Homo-oligomer: A and B are copies of this chain.
Amino acid sequence: MQHCDTLILAGWCIPVEPHDLVLPDHGVAVTDGKIVELLPTGEARKKYAPGVLVDRPDHVLIPGLVNTHTHAAMTLLRGIADDLPLEQWLKDAIWPIENRWVGTEFVRDGTRLAIAEMLLSGCTCFSDQYFFPEIVAETAEDMYMRAVVATPVLEFPTPWADNATECLNKGAELVHDRYAEHTLISSAFAPHSTATVSDETFGELRILADQLDKRIQIHLHESAQEVEDALAATGERPIERLKRLGLINSSLLAVHAVHLTDDEIRLFADTGVSVAHCPNSNLKLADGIARITAIHSAEIPVGLGTDGAASNNLLSMPGEMRTAALLAKAESEDATALPAATALRMATLTGARTLGLEEQIGSIESGKWADLACIDLMHINSQPVYDPLSQVVYAIHPQQISDVWIAGRHQVENGALAQIDQADILRRSAEWRQQINGQLS
């Protein structure tokens, strides 16, 4: 018998790579936070003497879900301003509240709430754009959550930095500091949008990101208004401008990408740009429906994202998978578009690829981090089970996530946070509501 730290046995395993494969009665052996082997349950029981055995016969084991775009701390603003258009939502509702309240404690408490929500719904890695990225990184590390912490870059003063130069300096410091070669935390740069960053700053950012070998993510062609405003202001569409500035390349993650022409899709495909597709946020803000079938067909890597809770209002990756799969069919007028296996792949391995993490996470393969999620199908709404892959995408509720592991650490157990003080998070959230509400009224 061979030792392993943890042996997880499941009714079905979906490794994602190879594509579209469901393995009944399989197990995963984990040691030192990494996947050692995926093998049939019978063999696993004979071969391994595990420190901990987790037996989940009615469950599907999948790679942990990867949320490629969020603003975690905005959970504290969940539902504070709904049913408004993007520009008005930002300028009249969100930005004034952020300017008044956002600081280190807001970001810490909001990020904790967000990480708890993401863990409970099977997400094991999130890519975050928000002020005080050093607090986001620290909080993720404290809670043992995998995160890509992107440093925001904006010209105008925010509660976190006075100008773009300060953003870049702070970002560079974050990268060089403790997170250079970290198990859980990696970093990136996040110019907010082309409307809020100058040509000069983009130029500096490009050089800095190249030097540090960091990826860049940006809200791009989210609304028709954004594209029109840019054309009016600069004579260029945002993508055109980024191309001129040398940022359209394989280090770029285009967030939203709702309004793309055929030429822009081709450009992304030719240059290796990735896309973070946030279907529920795009619907809620009436941005439109991304041409995800065409984008995917052009072999552009597409990850899924929840966006912030203020424009969703959930951080539920199972929900994004389902919506992405359903919406693609309507958008392309083709019911065969974006089948279940493809939706799950976007939410895991391809998502990891858009963040530069495809060698480390996103599939159940030997040598990768043991970032895993287990889903209990023995619920009325998931029965009967003809095809576990169909259930995972089309017929579960997020609260069926029974177990989550991050680099082998058992973070969610029997549907509850195993290592995190949920009561404290709820208490702090209620305090923030009271404070912010007092200010509003």
Question: Is A40 part of the contact surface with B, judged by Cβ < 8 Å?
Answer: no
Please state if A380 and B426 are interface contacts (CB–CB under 8 Å): yes
Contact for A391 among B79, B116, B284, B385, CB less than 8 A: B79
Tell me which of A78, A280, A378 has the highest count of chain B C-beta atoms within 10 A of its own C-beta: A78
Closest residue on chain B to residue A258 by CB atoms: B330
Contacts of A76 in B (CB 8 A): 384
Please state if B78 and A384 are interface contacts (CB–CB under 8 Å): yes
Please state if B288 and A333 are interface contacts (CB–CB under 8 Å): yes
Question: Is A80 part of the contact surface with B, judged by Cβ < 8 Å?
Answer: yes
Contacts of A337 in B (CB 8 A): 83, 286
Contacts of A283 in B (CB 8 A): 326-327, 329-330
Contacts of A289 in B (CB 8 A): 330
Please state if B333 and A120 are interface contacts (CB–CB under 8 Å): no
- Chain A count of residues within 8 A CB distance of the other chain: 70
Closest residue on chain B to residue A76 by CB atoms: B384
Contacts of A381 in B (CB 8 A): 117, 120-121, 314-316, 398
A residues 324-341 touching B (CB-CB < 8 Å) = 326-327, 329-330, 332-337, 339-340
Contacts of A326 in B (CB 8 A): 280, 283-284
Digit string of A417-433 for contact with B (CB within 8 Å is 1, else 0)? Answer: 00000100110011011
CA distance A280 to B395 in the complex (A): 12
Decide yes or no: A285 and B329 within 8 Å by CB, A314-B394, A380-B116, A433-B386 being known contacts.
yes
Question: Is A390 part of the contact surface with B, judged by Cβ < 8 Å?
Answer: yes
Please state if A286 and B329 are interface contacts (CB–CB under 8 Å): yes
Please state if A286 and B330 are interface contacts (CB–CB under 8 Å): yes
A residues 375-427 touching B (CB-CB < 8 Å) = 378, 380-387, 390-391, 394-395, 397-400, 422, 425-426
Q: For the complex formed, measure the closest distance between the CB of A24 and the CB atoms of chain B, giving whole angstroms.
A: 13
Please state if A335 and B83 are interface contacts (CB–CB under 8 Å): yes
CA distance A332 to B285 in the complex (A): 11
Main secondary structure of the interface of A (DSSP, over half): helix
Contact for A332 among B286, B382, B426, CB less than 8 A: B286
Q: For the complex formed, measure the closest distance between the CB of A308 and the CB atoms of chain B, giving whole angstroms.
A: 12
Tell me which of A75, A309, A329, A398 has the highest count of chain B C-beta atoms within 10 A of its own C-beta: A329
Contact for A394 among B82, B288, B382, CB less than 8 A: B82
Contacts of A89 in B (CB 8 A): 335
Contacts of A384 in B (CB 8 A): 76, 78, 429-430, 432-433
Q: For the complex formed, measure the closest distance between the CB of A345 and the CB atoms of chain B, giving whole angstroms.
A: 14
CA distance A426 to B85 in the complex (A): 44
Please state if A284 and B390 are interface contacts (CB–CB under 8 Å): no
Contacts of A121 in B (CB 8 A): 381
Question: Is A211 part of the contact surface with B, judged by Cβ < 8 Å?
Answer: no
CA distance A309 to B397 in the complex (A): 14
In the complex, besides A75-B383, A284-B394, A316-B381, 10 extra interface pairs with C-beta distance below 8 angstroms are A83-B339, A84-B335, A89-B335, A283-B330, A286-B330, A286-B333, A287-B330, A289-B330, A386-B437, A399-B399
Closest 8 CB pairs of A and B: A384-B433, A79-B390, A286-B335, A283-B326, A399-B399, A83-B339, A313-B394, A286-B329
Give A contacts to B, CB under 8 Å: 75-76, 78-80, 82-86, 89, 113, 116-117, 120-121, 280, 282-289, 309, 312-316, 323, 326-327, 329-330, 332-337, 339-340, 378, 380-387, 390-391, 394-395, 397-400, 422, 425-426, 429-430, 432-433, 436-437
